[in-house]
């Protein structure tokens, strides 16, 4: 899919600029690296039908994983439902725009009904629209996670995950401006990590990676996010079968409600050797 990509037009995860740094009475000009933020349009294609389902601001890189993870988290596709995925090659698009548009071809003759999606047509890198209506819709398509394999995580493993994830954040090390999501085994081994300007995009990239490599469901894994635990992140974790979600910051009230309703373990304020358990205490071997 990517053999013909142009290195001169495809955006990368890091953008280099010149800045003026002022420190006390000293002034110097130098180059600085920024986390790239570009729009990504996600299109669905089935038979002869095509439709744009979302436009999100993201950090370029593993765009196919992002698109696949987003569609899976919204309940639009299931494992095995993607026939092909690639960048848009429409000649009427500017070369730069072609690498900001991903087309996902489904193995069906008609597009699925996406009218039930409770979100704006254009999303952003921050968390999208959510509320009680979204929670009710989620109950219609997702079951509680109590039926999966039982996993248990020790506090010592939980304490060590943020440092392990931080060491895997290559782009954050250059820019200092990205969220991260990491997938761990119950004994603390890092399986995969993804970065993005949007915390939920980072999770989509992880889930998309798992979907495209036939690793779903992720019911034997732990998810760690570098920011707060939002409803949308919990929704994506639930759809992927993840039983334990940890966040270095606070959860939202709706994230806690979702975790308790669907039998998920939610850990927040993970800093140093302390954390809060908001739901599912039985999976943390304290």
At 74, list the tokens. Answer: 């919204």
3-state SS, one letter per residue, for 59-111:
CCCCHHHHHHHHHHHCCCCCCCCEEEEEECCCCCCCHHHHCCEEEEEECCCCC
- Decide if 58 contacts 201 (C-beta within 8 A): yes
> Over the Cα atoms of the chain, what is R_g?
20
- DSSP conformation class of 248: S
Residue 115, C-beta contacts closer than 8 angstroms, at least 6 positions apart: none
Q: What percent of the chain is helix, strand and coil (3-state, nearest 5)? A: 30, 30, 40
Please pick, among 88, 127, 130, 142, the residue that the annotation labels catalytic.
127
For the chain, the first-to-last Cα distance in angstroms comes to 47
Distance CA 183, CA 165 (A): 9
CB atoms within 10 A of CB 239: 21
Q: Cα dist. 57→79, 91, 122 in Å?
A: 25, 23, 9
Distance CA 266, CA 258 (A): 10
Residue 211, C-beta contacts closer than 8 angstroms, at least 6 positions apart: 68, 69, 72, 79, 82
Query: Is 88 considered catalytic here?
Result: no
Which residues form the catalytic set? Answer: 127
């Amino acid at each position: 899919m990517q053999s013909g990509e142009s290195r001169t037009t495809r955006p990368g995860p890091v953008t280099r600029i010149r800045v003026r740094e002022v420190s006390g009475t000293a002034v110097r000009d130098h180059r600085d690296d920024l986390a790239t933020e570009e729009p990504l349009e996600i299109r669905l294609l089935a038979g002869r039908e095509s439709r744009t389902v979302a436009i999100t601001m993201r950090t370029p890189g593993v765009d196919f994983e992002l698109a696949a993870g987003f569609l899976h988290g919204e309940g639009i596709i299931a494992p095995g439902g993607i026939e092909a995925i690639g960048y848009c090659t429409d000649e009427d698009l500017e070369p730069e725009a072609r690498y900001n548009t991903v087309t996902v071809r489904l193995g069906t003759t008609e597009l699925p009904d996406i009218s039930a999606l409770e979100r704006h047509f254009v999303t952003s890198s921050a968390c999208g629209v959510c509320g009680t209506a979204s929670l009710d819709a989620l109950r219609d398509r997702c079951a509680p996670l109590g039926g999966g394999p039982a996993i248990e995580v020790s506090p010592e493993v939980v304490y060590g995950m943020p440092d392990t994830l931080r060491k895997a954040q290559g782009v954050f090390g250059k820019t200092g401006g990205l969220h991260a999501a990491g997938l761990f085994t119950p004994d603390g081994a890092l399986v995969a990590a993804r970065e993005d300007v949007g915390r939920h995009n980072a999770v989509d990239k992880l889930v998309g990676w798992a979907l495209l490599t036939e690793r779903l469901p992720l019911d034997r894994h732990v998810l760690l996010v570098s920011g707060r635990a939002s409803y949308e992140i919990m929704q994506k974790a639930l759809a992927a079968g993840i039983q334990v979600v940890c966040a270095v910051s606070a959860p939202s009230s709706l994230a806690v409600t979702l975790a308790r309703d669907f039998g998920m373990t939610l850990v927040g304020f993970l800093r140093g050797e302390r954390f809060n358990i908001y739901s599912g205490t039985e999976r943390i071997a304290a």
